[in-house]
């Protein structure tokens, strides 16, 4: 006979759904909501196989991590589109692999900026769990989108590997810049320029002023959108196009 402690109740992170789901307790699971068909990773607090004393990430922060993932993906897509408009001759030469690499460059800096902004809004005892949930949210949402296109034979491992690498390399590449992310200043300007130069290099246009400036502007404008989302009591995202 099943007992109550063998199961736990979690909410679908999709802000438009929120369905309560009963799942096995104490396991890392890929859960698919039967109502909206959203798939998401559930990570319970664990320590050496025993449930530890930390609270799970609060439902509000779970929702915000998921919605922040949506925002980051939207910003990345809109930013790549803007680069295509601003530098059509260069963008027109990009193959799908290169365009994916540009997209990943945006996710790298957005992960790092989300990390910096979250320090002001996420309690320290939930901070690392929140970052894990954000990484999971981006992976799950990208895989949800690709799975719809490719069907049941879709392999979700490459996206997991790419996004995990983007999170790690983004932190290492941008973390040396020390500045208050919510305030303007010369160090923040150098940080954004470094990002713009990384995008230009990825597009095989090292030093191209238009690309560097456009990419830097997109990243800088995204800070306000991330801040607004984390400040929001509902955890709802502003339009991803608001940064452009």
pLDDT, tens digit, 9 for 90 and up, residues 36-51: 888 888 877 544 343 3
Q: What percent of the chain has pLDDT over 90?
A: 63
Report pLDDT for 54. 39
Dump pLDDT digits (tens) for 127-174. 999 999 999 999 999 999 998 888 878 898 999 999 999 999 999 999
Q: Which pLDDT band holds residue 9 (cuts at 50, 70, 90)?
A: confident
Distance of CA 44 to the CA centre of its chain: 20
Distance CA 29, CA 37 (A): 15
Report pLDDT for 81. 96
Distance CA 225, CA 72 (A): 10
With beta carbons less than 8 A apart as the criterion, state whether 207 and 86 touch. Answer: no
Dump pLDDT digits (tens) for 169-224. 999 999 999 999 888 999 999 999 999 999 999 999 999 999 999 999 999 999 99
Report pLDDT for 120. 94
With beta carbons less than 8 A apart as the criterion, state whether 156 and 148 touch. Answer: no
Instruction: Map out the domains of the chain as residue ranges.
Output: 1-56, 57-243
Pick from 117, 86, 115: nearest CA to 181: 117
Report pLDDT for 238. 55
The residue-averaged pLDDT of 15-36 equals: 84
Distance CA 213, CA 211 (A): 5
Question: In the 3-class helix/strand/coil scheme, how is the chain assigned residue by residue?
Answer: CCCHHHEEEEECCCCCCCCEEEEECCCCEEEECCCCCCEEEECCCCECCECCCCCCCCHHHHHHHHHHHHHHHHHHHHHHHHHHHHCHHHHCCCCHHHHHHHHHHHHHHHHHHHHHHHCCCCCHHHHHHHHHHHHHHHHHHHHHHHHHHHCCCCCCHHHHHHHHHHHHHHHHHHCCCCCCCCCCCHHHHHHHHHHHHHHHHHCCCCCCHHHHHHHHHHHHHHHHHHHHHHHCCCCCCCCHHHHC
Task: Return mean pLDDT, the chain.
Answer: 87
| Residue 233 token pair | 């009591």
- Which is more confidently placed, 6 or 69? 69
Which pTM does this prediction carry?
0.82
Dump pLDDT digits (tens) for 176-186. 999 998 889 99
Q: Which pLDDT band holds residue 13 (cuts at 50, 70, 90)?
A: confident
Q: What percent of the chain has pLDDT over 70?
A: 89
Report pLDDT for 2. 53
Dump pLDDT digits (tens) for 43-72. 775 443 433 433 578 889 999 999 999 999
């Amino acid at each position: 006979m099943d007992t109550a402690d063998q199961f736990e109740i979690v909410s679908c992170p999709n802000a438009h759904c929120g369905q309560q789901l009963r799942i096995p307790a104490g396991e890392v699971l890929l859960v698919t909501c039967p109502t909206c068909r959203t798939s998401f990773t559930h990570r319970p607090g664990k320590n050496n196989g025993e449930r530890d004393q930390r609270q799970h990430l609060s439902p509000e922060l779970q929702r915000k991590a998921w919605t922040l993932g949506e925002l980051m993906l939207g910003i990345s897509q809109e930013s790549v589109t803007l680069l295509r408009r601003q530098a059509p001759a260069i963008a027109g030469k990009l193959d799908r692999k290169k365009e994916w690499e540009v997209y990943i460059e945006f996710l790298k800096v957005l992960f790092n900026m989300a990390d910096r902004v979250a320090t002001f809004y996420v309690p320290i005892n939930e901070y690392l769990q929140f970052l894990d949930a954000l990484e999971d949210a981006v992976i799950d949402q990208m895989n949800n989108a690709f799975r719809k296109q490719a069907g049941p034979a879709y392999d979700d491992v490459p996206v997991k590997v790419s996004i995990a690498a983007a999170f790690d390399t983004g932190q290492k590449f941008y973390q040396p810049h020390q500045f208050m992310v919510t305030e303007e200043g010369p160090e923040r300007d150098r940080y954004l320029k470094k990002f713009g130069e990384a995008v230009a290099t990825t597009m095989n246009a090292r030093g191209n002023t238009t690309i560097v400036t456009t990419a830097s502007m997109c990243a800088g404008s995204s800070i306000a959108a991330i801040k607004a989302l984390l400040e929001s009591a509902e955890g709802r995202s502003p339009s991803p196009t608001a940064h452009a």
